[in-house]
Structure formats: C-alpha cells, structure tokens
Amino acid sequence: MIVRNLNDPEVLATRYRAHGGAAAWMIMTSRILEGIEFLAYAILPPGNTIEEHVDEVEEIYMIFRGGGKMKVGDEIRDVKEGDSIWIPAGEPHSLENTRDEEAFVLVIAAYPFKRMLQMAEE
C-alpha cells in the first residue's frame, strides 16, 4: 500500500507551473503506478488559465473547488465544483478560472487501454 498526503514532502517537492496558469504537484506517478501515468492536483488562481495544450494520455479533470470555462476540442462548457471532465488522448484542452476564488483541480492521466496493449506488444 502506498499512501500520499498532499502535504507530504515528496509531493510538495514536485511543484511545477502547469501550462502557464496553475501551480501543480504530482501526488503519484508512473514510477510507482502500473496502469496510470499520474495523479496530480493543481491550484488555478482567479483569472488564470491552464493554456490550451495536447497530451498523449487521456485525462480526467475533477473540480473540487471553484470552477470556470473548460475547453475540450471545439466544445466550451462552464464547469463547477463536483464536475469531472474526460479529455481524450490527443485532444486540445484548456481551463480558465472565471470565478473569484481559486480552483482546485485533481488530474488523473492514463494511457488509453488500446495504447497500453500496443506498448505491451512492442
């Protein structure tokens, strides 16, 4: 069993700037996970944007606090606390915090199952 707290030193040491707009930390990564690329969280200040980008992994953003405008592909939707957003691998996406409070976002990333099977065969 592996247990990580958001305040553990090994988590806090991973702080990075996520796509120009959010402070983010890796909770667990593929160094220890078997089928998931990473589990991370980000804090997006009011008015900031996680800039549009493309990842080779599929992701789920879960909004724990705050919200804003989420863009996936050509679709833009308002998202709020409690919402989970699926982002297919290779799909451009961004998140703009349009609220007056920080947005706290949990991010789970994994290679699509079909890609995992291809990687296993290589």
Domains of the chain, residue spans: 9-121
What's the pLDDT tens digit per position in 11-67? 999 999 999 999 999 999 988 888 899 999 999 999 999 999 999 999 999 999 999
Three-state DSSP state, 70: strand
Topology of domain 9-121 in CATH is Jelly Rolls (2.60.120)
What global pTM score does this model have?
0.88
Neighbours of 32 (CB within 10 A): 9
Q: What ranges in the chain are assigned the alpha helix state H?
A: 9-12, 113-121
Query: Is there a contact between 88 and 58 (Cβ–Cβ < 8 Å)?
Result: yes
